Chains A and B, each alone.
Chain A
């Protein structure tokens, strides 16, 4: 402050733009561990993630970034969705015309709609794959049971979001798919017809259903999904980060860990609060002191102290990987949207049900089952599967096999799961390709 000549408009102008920049970004781009920690710690968005993250969590071949891709697809959907909301009207008389306008007159209209649709389908698929990854690596076991349940909830919300959005174009494809879907819901005993009426606001799909689905799709479900995602992330941190095999956490590893690749100053980067094993000068020690006690953390993670651990700084390792995954997701959605147009069929004609009338692809496995038994196929078995999913962390209490794909110890659990997955996929494929008019078996060739 002493070298300032005069605080005032002149000095403000002479110090532009640095003064404004520094008022927003309080820390410079880091070149020390202290700096890296500060960057994560003092940024609203970055502080969602831990300052240091275990190296194993960064392995793309472990997670394939599926959770991240789901999140980024959700963000893409939100942004494109809001843009679409500027043009769409949830009215049975106007919706289809608006879709035609989006296609024929709005700048980037076709592209915007394509991005939204393919991101939506992609999100359903990726969320499902993420669930498979978590199961097959045993990452639902203690202490992550509740996070798994939140994840199943998110999966169901994702499918419901996709389902509600499916109706909005108000064309033949939309109308009859939702007619089929809500009819399947009505097969539930006792509450089925009430549930259907609640969803549709009427006994059949019409203006009420369109309005309800619109509100669910743009307001209610995104809020719920955002809430659950927030809790999901919180839980990941409180459960000690992403799951990893127990040997990664061994206190005295057999070999010394290699230095972390990205941070040049990392060789001496172990910092601590209590007595450090590394002898440093006092000034350096003070400089290295990063945080006071934030809280007592139970669990296997926090190894601040005199043990060499395998964690690396989030900035830049995790953040740059996340950026990479984000760019790949965006590139994928963009490329698919460039080449494939979202379908728009004839306007709704309630006198002309298509034969066959098919639910959206992620419900076709269900519809195939329904063709054998309305209750068991549409309500019984799916409810049973969801219940199984929800209860799996409590049914499977064996602690072993976490952090590895297809761990030997978990052969039974993995086999059962894969059986269900493959069965569902097969049923879905049959429903999509092998069923024709009157739900008769047809050859897709």
Chain B
């Protein structure tokens, strides 16, 4: 008997639970919307034809199966948006609102009634709007589910998007990115944001680092040909605004952009889906055959004059990063008096490959024609007007603060993009442990292999002394103590030989790679956590310019104010240091591929 009672109770429970389940799954929202539509349509019906069209209609799922846009899409949007093609509902609230007709969308009037150019039966909905076509609940259908890769453009933000940017990512204009999937012409009137974005892609120098098929061939940054397919608009926005938000070790600069410009760039990038629905494969192939890269032909026929160079500077968006005259990108060095800083050979070599002169530069190797580089060089060399600063403070703020920062802490506006980073002049330990001659020489002849320019012809001796005094008074503050002489030989005590370099290599691999890296390029695993970063020991120009005495001093006694420890405390002898120096010099032998062809940096520093 007990079993029977228990059976009855549990059976009832199962029945009730089934009831819950069925209730959950039936009585959908879309049925309610459809019922509301039928009711309204019935009351709005004026002719018998209209009335009979609505009578007897039962709620059911409406789907469009669209196959001409890649994978077959099943769009069920019309299930809730049943009134999308019914012109009588243009004043109703969503979801029962008529989809707008407009000439801008290609719609036209015929016999007094609007007709769509992009009929739902041919196009579906998601090819323009994105979202999840198969969904039947708002949360899924509109793409609000954070795991859905294609939320409705401009209508939906997902929960895990940064709240600061969510309001900026709303707006029907984002849909222009999808128009461009078919309407790929350069200045298609329906997609002004895409055109603006494309323009900005060139104006802001993006083309130099990023490749987009048919537009540019930069190799420094990721290929953006399918950025719209891979990323959502929140990623594109946030990454443009703050590259290090998603990729902490990125050296992509933060460009000066207004919100409108960012929106245009986002729409442009979102339109890069890697496919053009309107093109067949044959047409695509034809286009590729006749493709002309916009920048590669350049002005090969023209004589590379300075005025051509000046034109090119504006055309090729150099001031998207650099400063020149009154235009400033706030990212790269000031070229306003570059003719006083560098000579033709240096500039031409730097143009062709920036890393041949500054090994850790982030400036891309632009694929211009050689004559373009010559023209640019010719122009830059004409910039020979020295700045007129009267005091050390003015000089510092006018020239040095761009990199070294107004506070002298090495955090000027460009510091994130320079490697080696600008020296932190507030580090008393460093500033007070180096001889003054070293600083004066650095100011006069620059620091080869780095972005510190030679100011020999830009400032007079007196001005250089003034700015140095200003630095010491304002940033270092502590008075210099008498520098103790250290027992460091002037020359390397160990003669250069293969055995010595091998011993040095072994020691290097044992002790130095944690910071300086296994490739001795300063990118060891600890390098991300220390400031200033470890020295790139393969920086040919730099190492050639540094004498044995200084290397010995740095290795044995460390570099105060940095993380370089005094290795003499860890048992390294002078001969050990000598072996290490021989190893480092062997890495920077002029026959090595990384060394530049000329040896213009020949002066050695004491």
**Residue pair A338, B17 in contact (C-beta under 8 Å):** yes
**Residue pair B25, A327 in contact (C-beta under 8 Å):** no
**Known contacts being A104-B140, A105-B76, is A331 close to B14, with CB within 8 Å?**
yes
**Residue pair A338, B134 in contact (C-beta under 8 Å):** no
**Residue pair A101, B17 in contact (C-beta under 8 Å):** no
Is A82 on the interface with B (CB-CB < 8 A)? no
On chain A, the number of residues with a Cβ less than 8 Å from chain B's Cβ atoms is 25
Contacts of A111 in B (CB 8 A): 21, 24-25
**Residue pair B137, A104 in contact (C-beta under 8 Å):** yes
A206 to chain B minimum Cβ distance, whole angstroms, is 20
Give A345 to B21 CA distance when docked, in angstroms: 24
Is A16 on the interface with B (CB-CB < 8 A)? no
**Residue pair A320, B25 in contact (C-beta under 8 Å):** no
Give A271 to B136 CA distance when docked, in angstroms: 63
Pick from B1, B13, B18, B140: contact of A103, CB below 8 A.
B140
Contacts of B18 in A (CB 8 A): 334
**Residue pair A107, B25 in contact (C-beta under 8 Å):** yes
**Residue pair B3, A321 in contact (C-beta under 8 Å):** yes
Is A14 on the interface with B (CB-CB < 8 A)? no
**Residue pair B11, A327 in contact (C-beta under 8 Å):** yes
Within 8 A of B (CB), among A98-148: 100-101, 103-105, 107-108, 111
**Residue pair B137, A100 in contact (C-beta under 8 Å):** no
Pick from A105, A320, A338, A344: contact of B21, CB below 8 A.
A338
**Residue pair A104, B7 in contact (C-beta under 8 Å):** no
Give A287 to B4 CA distance when docked, in angstroms: 29
Is A266 on the interface with B (CB-CB < 8 A)? no
**Residue pair B147, A100 in contact (C-beta under 8 Å):** yes
Pick from B1, B7, B24: contact of A327, CB below 8 A.
B7
Give A347 to B21 CA distance when docked, in angstroms: 28
Is A342 on the interface with B (CB-CB < 8 A)? no
Give A103 to B25 CA distance when docked, in angstroms: 12
Of chain A, the residue at the smallest CB distance from B74 is A105
Is B132 on the interface with A (CB-CB < 8 A)? yes
Is B105 on the interface with A (CB-CB < 8 A)? no
Contacts of A104 in B (CB 8 A): 132, 134-137, 139-141, 145, 148
**Residue pair B4, A320 in contact (C-beta under 8 Å):** yes
Give A320 to B6 CA distance when docked, in angstroms: 10
Give A346 to B137 CA distance when docked, in angstroms: 20
**Residue pair A347, B147 in contact (C-beta under 8 Å):** yes
Is A330 on the interface with B (CB-CB < 8 A)? yes
Is A412 on the interface with B (CB-CB < 8 A)? no
Contacts of A100 in B (CB 8 A): 132, 140, 145, 147-148
A108 to chain B minimum Cβ distance, whole angstroms, is 5
Pick from B7, B14, B76, B135: contact of A334, CB below 8 A.
B14
B71 to chain A minimum Cβ distance, whole angstroms, is 9
Is B45 on the interface with A (CB-CB < 8 A)? no
Is A418 on the interface with B (CB-CB < 8 A)? no
Is B20 on the interface with A (CB-CB < 8 A)? yes
**Residue pair A338, B141 in contact (C-beta under 8 Å):** no
**Residue pair B14, A105 in contact (C-beta under 8 Å):** no
**Known contacts being A320-B3, A347-B147, is A101 close to B21, with CB within 8 Å?**
no
**Known contacts being A104-B145, A261-B1, is A320 close to B7, with CB within 8 Å?**
yes
Contacts of B137 in A (CB 8 A): 104
A36 to chain B minimum Cβ distance, whole angstroms, is 15
- A341-361 near B? 1/0 per residue, CB < 8 Å: 000111100000000000000
Is B563 on the interface with A (CB-CB < 8 A)? no
**Residue pair B3, A101 in contact (C-beta under 8 Å):** no
Is B10 on the interface with A (CB-CB < 8 A)? yes
Of chain B, the residue at the smallest CB distance from A96 is B147
Contacts of A331 in B (CB 8 A): 10, 13-14, 17
- A298-340 near B? 1/0 per residue, CB < 8 Å: 0000000000000000000100110110011011001100100
B144 to chain A minimum Cβ distance, whole angstroms, is 10
Contacts of A345 in B (CB 8 A): 147
Give A108 to B23 CA distance when docked, in angstroms: 11
**Known contacts being A105-B140, A324-B7, A344-B147, is A330 close to B14, with CB within 8 Å?**
yes
Contacts of A107 in B (CB 8 A): 25
**Residue pair A327, B14 in contact (C-beta under 8 Å):** yes
List residues of B whose CB falls within 8 A of some A CB: 1, 3-4, 6-7, 10-11, 13-14, 17-18, 20-21, 24-25, 76, 132, 134-137, 139-141, 145, 147-149
Please give me the 10 A-B residue pairs with the lowest Cβ-Cβ distance, nearest first.
A104-B140, A105-B134, A327-B10, A334-B17, A104-B135, A331-B14, A324-B7, A331-B13, A320-B3, A108-B25
Task: Identify 8 new A-B residue pairs, CB closer than 8 A, beyond the known A100-B148, A327-B14.
Answer: A104-B134, A104-B140, A104-B148, A327-B7, A331-B13, A334-B18, A338-B20, A345-B147
